[in-house]
Amino acid sequence: MEKDRYEMRFGGSGGQGVITAAVIMAEAAGVYDGYHVCQTQSYGPQSRGGNSKAELVISRREIDYPKVIKMDCLLAMNQAALDDYFYDFEPNGLLVVDATFVEQTPTSRTISLPFTAMARELGKELVANIIAVGAVARLCGKVSLESVEKAVIARVPAKFRELNEQALIAGIKAAEEVDLDRLPRSIPLEDVYGDPTG
């Protein structure tokens, strides 16, 4: 059975385009795949100079609470964003980081792909966020890749359409090399020691 809420958080520095990435993912799921989606940005007085975070909740039902409670997927575009936004991570969730800027991860259950380095190879560092969208979409399996492509095309300037499509495909391909079944899993303590009430 499909889980009721799928919760994602994207974090990165101001120029890394995490809000655009979240809006694209939200439009793929909400406009083209017919989910209920709430997409939020929160800022506080300490926002200046720091990282931004964007959150999405995706559900087949109406969404009562629009913010992340137990995060199924975290995309961190740099080390500070990972350190700051890892809280609320569901232990067997999907942690995706930009290997270009992240050296240390809080769990071995991490998918590390060099989004920014890949974007530089395409000639434009700015599309690292679109590469990341492609990878996360493929890895989480929550939205159709066709819908993600439509959402990217609708959101980016027409002039950069081809570059962004290349970026999306590069991200999807990189994710296809990842074997999710080989990632370590967090085992609940009751499964290790037996259920004390059993």
State the nearest-atom distance from the C-beta of 153 to a second copy, in Å.
12
Q: Given the complex with a second copy, which of 37 and 140 has the nearer CB atom?
A: 37
Task: List Cα–Cα distances, 60 to 5, 29, 37, 144, in angstroms.
Answer: 8, 10, 9, 14
State the nearest-atom distance from the C-beta of 46 to a second copy, in Å.
9
Q: Given the complex with a second copy, which of 31 and 178 has the nearer CB atom?
A: 31
State the nearest-atom distance from the C-beta of 43 to a second copy, in Å.
2
State the nearest-atom distance from the C-beta of 2 to a second copy, in Å.
15
b/e code 71-108 from CB counts within 10 Å (16+ = b): bbbbbbbbbbbbbebbeebbeebbbbbbbbbbeebeee
Pairing assessment for the beta strands 111-113 and 5-13 based on DSSP bridges: unpaired
User: 169 near 149, Cβ under 8 Å?
Assistant: no
State the nearest-atom distance from the C-beta of 140 to a second copy, in Å.
17
Q: Given the complex with a second copy, which of 29 and 74 has the nearer CB atom?
A: 29
Q: Given the complex with a second copy, which of 1 and 158 has the nearer CB atom?
A: 158
Q: Given the complex with a second copy, which of 80 and 183 has the nearer CB atom?
A: 80
User: Which residues sit at the interface with a second copy, rule CB under 8 A?
Assistant: 14, 19, 23, 26-27, 29-32, 34-45, 47-48, 62-63, 66-67, 154, 157
Q: Given the complex with a second copy, which of 120 and 155 has the nearer CB atom?
A: 155
Question: Shortest CA distance to 78 belongs to which of 50, 43, 107, 119?
Answer: 50
State the nearest-atom distance from the C-beta of 63 to a second copy, in Å.
8
Q: How far apart are CA 149 and CA 133, in angstroms?
A: 10
DSSP string across 126-164: GGHHHHHHHHHHHHH--S-HHHHHHHHHHHS-GGGHHHH
